[in-house]
Amino acid sequence: MNLGEELMKSLEIETVFTISMAGHKIPVTETVIVSWAVMILLVSAALLATRNLRRIPRGFQTLLEAGIEFLNNFSKQQFGKHAKIFNPYIGTLFLFLLTANILPAITPVFAFGREPVFDIKPPTRDINVCAALAALSVLLMLFSGLAVRGPAGWFKKLLRPVPAMLPFNLLEYVIRPLSLCLRLFGNILGGFIIMTLINIALAGAVKFSLVIPIPLSLYFDFFDGFIQALVFTFLTTLYVSEAVGTE
């Protein structure tokens, strides 16, 4: 199998198993499996981190409370009195994206001419996941604007600064999720392709297969994954804060 064939194989969204229900077969892909693994990991980490909380924080609890306080302050700046409503979603969105983007870094690199025992691929390389997250963000923007401003206030905002802007303001509900989706998908897929090509090219080079991919993985998996999670979450925050009138 040549380089191109191996790359195309790694880009395929494979079906792990199918579920038969009411005469229909529902495919469960590797994207679904990894996404559920990320959710289970986050829920388990939350339960472990909060099971023995003390009134006076020490050790890890100090870091945990500092992170929560930072999120609360950030939400208050963006959403004002509505911070408690949107704070859980913004925090969960960032943690999910961050974990999903950097999880592939634990996949063993190609070494000694053998393929890794397991291969974890980022679920955000699947455009369906990116589209779903972008749709959730724009729906949150839409319904929060309707709930806070009311239908009349929401429609009045669409007429600003002049009524002629109505079609363009409506287009934002299409352009914004499309932009969120393609930005996240393109950057994560690009990093995944580069790391896959590097691992395939170094599969037979014993001296370099354990050394070269590590610093590159720190950038494409950790740094780029963190940046994309941050950008997606921050843009969602800006869109929602604008919708509820706290811009």
**Does the pLDDT value for residue 108 go beyond 70?**
no
Q: Compare 169 and 105 and report the one with higher pLDDT.
A: 169
pLDDT confidence of residue 98: 93
**Does the pLDDT value for residue 39 go beyond 90?**
yes
Model confidence at 207, pLDDT cuts 50, 70, 90, reads low
Sign, CA torsion 198/199/203/206? positive
Q: Compare 198 and 111 and report the one with higher pLDDT.
A: 198
Chain Cα centroid distance, residue 20: 29
Please report, for the chain, the start and end positions of each structural domain, with discontinuous segments joined by +. Answer: 3-243
pLDDT confidence of residue 117: 55
Mean confidence (pLDDT) of the chain: 83
Q: At what angle do helices 30-49 and 127-158 cross, to 10 degrees?
A: 70
**Model pLDDT for residues 147-167, shown as the tens digit of each residue:** 888 888 888 888 888 888 888
pLDDT confidence of residue 8: 77
pLDDT confidence of residue 208: 53
Closest by Cα among 74, 72, 93 to 84: 72
Predicted TM-score (pTM) of the model is 0.85
